[in-house]
Amino acid sequence: MKNLAQIRAANALAFANSPAEKRGKDGGEAIKKIPPMIASNGLLAAIAFSVEVKNDKLQRPGYAAIFDAIAKHLGSSDIAIISSKGAPDLIVKLTESDSQTLKLATAEAMEWLAYARRFVTT
């Protein structure tokens, strides 16, 4: 049986080794900007920022990819806080859930990001 630290690290490492875009709009390190964004504005606002579309184009694909990975982590069988198909679906599911689920998802996302920040290189 794995502990939460092992599960978080494994999921963050899988994301870091994936081919997903991980940079911000101007090539910055999006992974390092997301935790303070969540702390200041909340998880829902941070996800909304990441999935913003303008002229039928995703404005911040790096941010969206990170939140897709968070959605995958939150829905994994070992974590099982909330199941979703990605960042756009995650925001819908979280708005429909209760306050306790949102708090758990926020705390778990921050814990996952603590590992991902160390593994992801841009």
- Between CA 47 and CA 63 the distance in angstroms is 8
Q: Is 29 helix (H, G, I), strand (E, B) or coil?
A: strand
Q: In the chain, what are the domain boundaries?
A: 4-119
pLDDT at 23: 65
DSSP for 60-96, written as a single string: -HHHHHHHHHHHHHHHSTTT-S---SSHHHHHHHHHH
CA–CA gap between residue 49 and residue 114 (Å, rounded): 20
The pTM of the full predicted model, rounded to 2 decimals, is 0.90
Rounded CA-CA distance 108/39 in Å is 13
- The residue assigned the tokens 């593994």 is 119
Per-residue pLDDT of the chain (122 residues; tens, 9 = 90+): 899 999 999 999 999 888 777 666 654 588 889 999 999 999 999 999 999 888 888 778 889 999 999 999 999 999 999 999 999 999 999 999 999 999 999 999 999 999 999 988 76
Q: How much is the pLDDT for 25?
A: 60
Of 50, 29, 27, which Cα lies nearest the Cα of 38?
Answer: 50
Instruction: Please provide the CATH number assigned to the domain covering 4-119.
Output: 1.10.520.30
